[in-house]
Chain A
Amino acid sequence: MDVTAAAAPPLVEVRDLKMHFPITRGIVIQRRIGAVKAVDGVSFHLRRGETLGLVGESGSGKTTIGRTILRLNQPTAGEIRIDGRDIATAGQGDIRRLRPRMQMIFQDPYASLNPRLTVGTIIAEAAVHHGILKKRDRQARVGELLETVGLDPAFAQRYPHEFSGGQRQRIGIARALALSPDFIVCDEPIAALDVSIQAQVINLLKDLQGRLGLTYLFIAHDLSVVRHISDRIAVMYLGKIVEMADSRTLYHAPKHPYSQALLSAVPIPDPKVEKQRHRIMLTGDLPSPANPPKGCNFCTRCPIAEEICRREEPPLIDHGDGHQVACHFAKPDASA
């Protein structure tokens, strides 16, 4: 990240975003009896050309954030700005005009490509629809995009079932690139791929970012991968960001007990390292987001929780250099 980029206004700004899904009872007359607070007051920003990693366990709300930012969900409350323009309250027509600039890469390359369309149609469809791509330029552009993602341009005539998982994910990436987006939400883009294919796709995403100046929100549960690709990382727990910092700081000096436990739980492919590691074991499971605990969301599993944690929700506080932590007991930096 160079100095000018850091000084520029952020490309994506999210402020106090809430996405609550209603729980209803009754078939004819539906009464609202509660809400699943999938995302509950989340704020962050992304600078142009940056990758923000979003990590958390299943049910933490990370996928919901990605979908809500692209307005695939109608947010309950909060602000979403992309390049200064408000997404959260924009009308359908405005959203449609903004869509080409923000795209998504999905987890399951088997479910996200229409099996009845040729690869060429899949890649070009949205761009033609948005008037970005003229029909007569279609073939050339599809060929160029296939080459960009490392596939043979002749594949345009084939159907998705003829490809392996890794190749399908490349097709999904080409489809996202067809609209020349600035911002891409990558939702677990390698989780469904074979181990030997994962590195190929990570390298491709990094390479494309460098060439095209893309901005990524990278959602994943695999912390080793997130660390490799992200400039900054936000750790989520039960709908809230509990810690956010640049990637180096988060891995070397995590302050939130949940981040510490999460990092210590990731297995490292080296038996000598594994033998000597100290692991923080969490007890129990993630509470239901329909019925989060009182006080700090993490208090039911936290190894250092005290009375105040069960009473008061800790605010997300900046500990310097953008290192934000939401914990009553987060200590200031040793150097500070």
Chain B
Amino acid sequence: MAAQLLLSVDGLTTSFGRGPDKVRAVADMSFDLAEGEVLAIVGESGSGKSVTMRSIMGIIPMPPGVIESGTAFFDGADLLAIDEENLRRLRGKDIAMVFQDAMTSLNPVLTVGRQITEVLEEHLGMTGKAARDRAISLLDEVGIPDAAHRIDEYPHQFSGGMRQRAMIALAIACGPRLLIADEPTTALDVTIQAQIIDLVVGLQTSHDMGIVWISHDLGVVARIAQKVIVMYAGRVVERATVEDLFDAPAHPYTIGLLASLPRLDQEPGEHLDSIPGQPPNASSLPPGCAFAPRCPLATETCRVEVPPVITVGDGHHAACHRLDEVRRREGRLPWT
């Protein structure tokens, strides 16, 4: 069963600043998302995962941001090339976004209900009682108790978890086909995080949305994603199905990350394997592989040449010069 392609990004490169101060935040990023598929983009702060999705949504501040190259096709339209008017028509209707901080999306001086009826009116032409009833049923759907009354409250009257739910209700109001979730559970406590993940997974199934979920938490990714992209210093270092990525990670960075995580379901050892060094500064990236200074397998080639993307298996790719060595060592690398 070949699902329809929903979003296709090719060669996206985004930078900030100009001249000698130019910083390339995302370099040559490509990926495809099928209808109803959940893709996770994982990476540390500064890896370019948020900038990727914000470039596609057209919400990079320009200047200083510049989209240097690339295409992002959604429903036949290149999101990086269409005018603001058409992009606005798509955003909020066919493409929606939720953020880590709900107050990024919610307006503090409008009631929660008004904000939802506003998008219903704008995109679907619903007004009056029909819009209000729809807003109540949306709040109800995202698990806000007593929605008929709480619809008239302001965001500050909601708790953190409830605000996150209200933001999700706003995002799904017009039945988007693509939902971009930028670390929406990172600031939440684990029991609330579990509720929100459950909610989004449920909505994904019932609404058949495609989701791009941005996260730094590999546990959350293991729970929700079907496919995963790992980013490091603005580039894709590995992409795979969630099973392959956790079962047989190919890139030394992915292997190192997974090895360094203490796991709740395993007896703790004395020492965690850890990746040495620090994540690189985007303004002074090494000429070759950005991970080379921290990689236990790095050679001279790694330090001078950007590694090509190599196919490891079906739908499994990694950008590394030393994949043969990783395979020879069966993924057991000499971490400190």
Asked if B274 and A281 sit within 8 Å, CB to CB, the answer is no
Q: How far is the CA of A25 from the CA of B87 in the complex (A)?
A: 50
- Chain B contacts for A265, CB-based, 8 A: 190-191, 193-194
Asked if B271 and A267 sit within 8 Å, CB to CB, the answer is no
The residues in A between 197 and 251 inclusive whose CB is less than 8 angstroms from any CB of B are 197-200, 202-203, 206, 221, 223-225, 227-229, 247, 251
- Chain B contacts for A290, CB-based, 8 A: none
B90 to chain A, nearest CB (A): 32
Q: How would residues 130 to 161 of chain A score, 1 for a CB under 8 Å from any chain B CB and 0 otherwise? A: 00000000000000000000000000000000
Main secondary structure, interface of B, reads: helix
Q: How far is the CA of A198 from the CA of B262 in the complex (A)?
A: 10
Q: How far is the CA of A196 from the CA of B272 in the complex (A)?
A: 11
Q: How far is the CA of A221 from the CA of B195 in the complex (A)?
A: 17
Which A residue's beta carbon lies closest to that of B216? A195
A57 an interface residue at 8 Å Cβ cutoff?
yes
B130 an interface residue at 8 Å Cβ cutoff?
no
The count of residues in chain B whose C-beta lies closer than 8 Å to any C-beta of chain A is: 49
- Chain A contacts for B276, CB-based, 8 A: 200
Q: How would residues 36 to 48 of chain B score, 1 for a CB under 8 Å from any chain A CB and 0 otherwise? A: 0000000011000
Q: How far is the CA of A270 from the CA of B225 in the complex (A)?
A: 11
Q: How far is the CA of A203 from the CA of B161 in the complex (A)?
A: 33
- Chain A contacts for B278, CB-based, 8 A: 164, 166-167, 197
B217: contacting residue among A196, A200, A267, A273, CB under 8 A: A267
- Chain B contacts for A247, CB-based, 8 A: 268
Q: How far is the CA of A195 from the CA of B46 in the complex (A)?
A: 12
A329 to chain B, nearest CB (A): 19
B287 to chain A, nearest CB (A): 21
Query: Which of the 9-residue segments B96-104, B114-122, B253-261 touches chain A?
Result: B253-261
Q: How far is the CA of A279 from the CA of B223 in the complex (A)?
A: 12
B264: contacting residue among A198, A206, A266, CB under 8 A: A266
A262: contacting residue among B45, B190, B220, B223, CB under 8 A: B190
Which B residue's beta carbon lies closest to that of A286? B189
- Chain B contacts for A5, CB-based, 8 A: none
Asked if B261 and A267 sit within 8 Å, CB to CB, the answer is no
Which A residues fall within an 8 A CB radius of B?
Answer: 57-58, 164, 166-167, 194-200, 202-203, 206, 221, 223-225, 227-229, 247, 251, 261-274, 279, 281-283, 285-286
Q: Beyond A196-B275, A227-B264, A285-B159: 16 further Cβ-contacts under 8 Å? A: A167-B278, A195-B44, A195-B257, A199-B273, A203-B271, A203-B272, A262-B190, A265-B193, A265-B194, A269-B219, A269-B246, A270-B263, A270-B265, A279-B194, A282-B191, A285-B160
- Chosen A-B contacts, 7 in total, with CB atoms closer than 8 Å, are A199-B260, A200-B276, A262-B190, A269-B218, A269-B258, A274-B223, A283-B195
